[in-house]
Structure 1
Amino acid sequence: MLWIPFTLFAAFMQAWRNALQKQLSQHLGATSVTLARFILAGPLAGGYLWLLYRWQPDQPLPHFSVLFAAYIVGAAVCQIVATALMVRLFQLRNYAVGVGLAKSEAIWAAILGVGFFGSLLSPLGWLGVAIGGVAIGLLSGLRRLSGGISPTTLLLGVGSGLSFALTSLWVREASLLLELTFPFSAAWVLLLVISLQTLLLVGWLAWRDRSSLSGLVKHPTLTAAVSITSCLGSIGWFSAMSLESVALVKTLGQIEVLFTLLISAYYFKVKLTRQDHWGLALIVIAAICVMWA
């Protein structure tokens, strides 16, 4: 049951990372804000792996395969795409709507996991996923805005959720391939994915938009905060997904929207509505379903 506290920790960190990314997106473009997520996370992930081997020095080093490398590349690229799309959502709609559209990830993870990755979900697990999807719709205000959501906004949200789901599924497959004890497999995957993402984004911006790199230097505190909360959240997500199916982890992880609403209320001064309270109740029911499943 260790996947449960890891998931809750990850959701809490991700809610803060999203809030900080929203602030940074007011000053920088989507690619720069995406890079801020990874730029300091690599050294932190490396330090985390080093501490694990100091804790258990008898643990073996992993053996990498071509299939493992393919999963790492796929996960790294999909997470970059997903983050860039979500940052673009922040710039088009309000904070909660952007997060809500991107959280279609849990539904995509369930469908793709069962259809293509050999995952198994009990009826109770499917019920939790379905209830969680309804809850996200209520909490993000999608029902209120259904008549005013543009096709562009909808496509960005679905694309972000699908990309996040593929990232999570490939991260789990990569962790299982290493056949290391917990949490070493998750830590290796985390380090490799984040390092590749940093190299890809820095190379892209150095080639196409060097001014974006200097923009991050102008906001060092906010950039560092985004990167640190992102790395801590990723440690939680990667660890949880190495222990349990992605659909269940991501459904429980929708508790992030509770944290998001609290941040919106107390940090961005957004008032909570009756619909928000119904959505929170459904999130709790969904969480109970997936934990029992």
Structure 2
Amino acid sequence: MPLWVAITVTAALFQTWRTALQQRLRGQLSLNGAAVVRYLYGVPFGLMILGGYWLLMGSSFGAPSAYFFLLCALAGITQIFGTNLLISSFGPRGFAVGTAYAKTEAVQASIIAVILLGEVLPPLSWVGIGISVFGVMYLSLAGKGLRLPDILRATLQPAALCGIGAGFCFAFTAICVRKANFELEGTDPVLKALFSVVVTNTMQTCMQGGWLLLREPAQVMAVFRSWRSSAQVGALSAAGSCCWFIGFALAPVALVRAVGQVEIIFTLLFSRFFLGEKLKAKDVTGALTVVAGVVLVLAGSL
């Protein structure tokens, strides 16, 4: 198994675990408060991971350019928007289905990567992506059928709009991350990816933390009071971001995001056993269809 595949699957696991913990934090914090903890508490863990890798490998890279910092800032702000949209999508249909809507990110990332990065996917991978889209649409239709009017109505549901918007933001984030990694001089893509994580998360802490201080000052103290739970979110967020960034450094964005859709399996498990949500048969069927598409994507790329 290629290293980037194992790292991507690990990233999906960490991301699902972190998102589930954030869903629990919604009972203690506002939307922005629950979102900012992943960056605020993630930076120290990211620094530890970066420092540990640097001490172990002894690699180095050149001085970052202004364009590198711009790309990190763009990645940071689009990820913030994506996270808020994802959390907002949970309410109408629950954690599992809200996340499934965001999985259109794989398609959006593939199209954006083709346009902006010139990445090319084999035909079988595109077939796999199409099957994954069908699985997502099946989830969004909630058993109402596959007629065009039903599809259009389902796409206009709040959960669908928030989830698809989150997918677009995450797709654009991935593109910026990959380009930022290429802006750093050096031969160790992992070290450059870890440095990009720390820079991006630091910027995100300043951006969303500043917004929270300005618009919801009472939430600032609530964020610090929840440090026991929030620290867990930060640790998982840092670990997941490091894996995602490394994956983007080692493989095309379209493939990484497509394989990352295995997150839906972890999502179903967390939804059922961690959050106690009841799953319907059609939700499981749609999720498995998404995963079948991922298998084809991977088969086409190997």
Distance 2:123 2:175 in 1: 20
For residues 190-215 of structure 1, give each alpha carbon's deviation from its aligned partner in whole angstroms, at most 9, with x where no partner exists: 11101110111222222222111112
Moved more, 278-287 or 105-114: 278-287
**What residue is the counterpart of 1:82 in the other structure?**
82
Q: How far 1:284 sits from its partner (Å)? A: 3.9
1:114 equivalenced with 2:120 (yes/no): no
Q: How far 1:151 sits from its partner (Å)? A: 4.6
Preserved CA contact (<8 Å) 1:129 1:247: no
SS in 2 for 1:61: coil
Letter of the 2:24 partner, please give it.
Answer: Q
Preserved CA contact (<8 Å) 2:85 2:165: yes
Give 5+ residue unaligned stretches, structure 2.
Answer: 145-149
**What residue is the counterpart of 2:142 in the other structure?**
143
TM-score computed with the length of structure 1 as normaliser: 0.92
Distance 1:279 1:208 in 2: 39
Q: How far 1:26 sits from its partner (Å)? A: 2.6
Q: How far 1:218 sits from its partner (Å)? A: 3.2
Preserved CA contact (<8 Å) 1:85 1:160: yes
Number of aligned residue pairs: give it: 291
**What residue is the counterpart of 2:161 in the other structure?**
155
Distance 1:255 1:48 in 2: 25
**What residue is the counterpart of 2:105 in the other structure?**
105
Give matches, 1:176-215, under 5 Å.
176-180=182-186, 181-215=188-222
Query: Aligned Cα RMSD in Å?
Result: 2.0
Letter of the 1:34 partner, please give it.
Answer: A
1:68 equivalenced with 2:75 (yes/no): no
Preserved CA contact (<8 Å) 2:89 2:160: no
**What residue is the counterpart of 1:169 in the other structure?**
175
Identity of aligned residues (%): 30
Distance 2:277 2:210 in 1: 38
Distance 1:154 1:163 in 2: 14
Q: How far 1:142 sits from its partner (Å)? A: 4.0
For residues 6-47 of structure 1, give each alpha carbon's deviation from its aligned partner in whole angstroms, at most 9, with x where no partner exists: 011011111111111111113321111110111111111111
**What residue is the counterpart of 1:251 in the other structure?**
258
- Call closer, same or farther: CA 1:77–1:2 in 2, change over 3 Å: same
Moved more, 234-243 or 265-274: 265-274
Distance 1:133 1:16 in 2: 23
TM-score computed with the length of structure 2 as normaliser: 0.89
**What residue is the counterpart of 2:57 in the other structure?**
56
Distance 2:79 2:92 in 1: 20
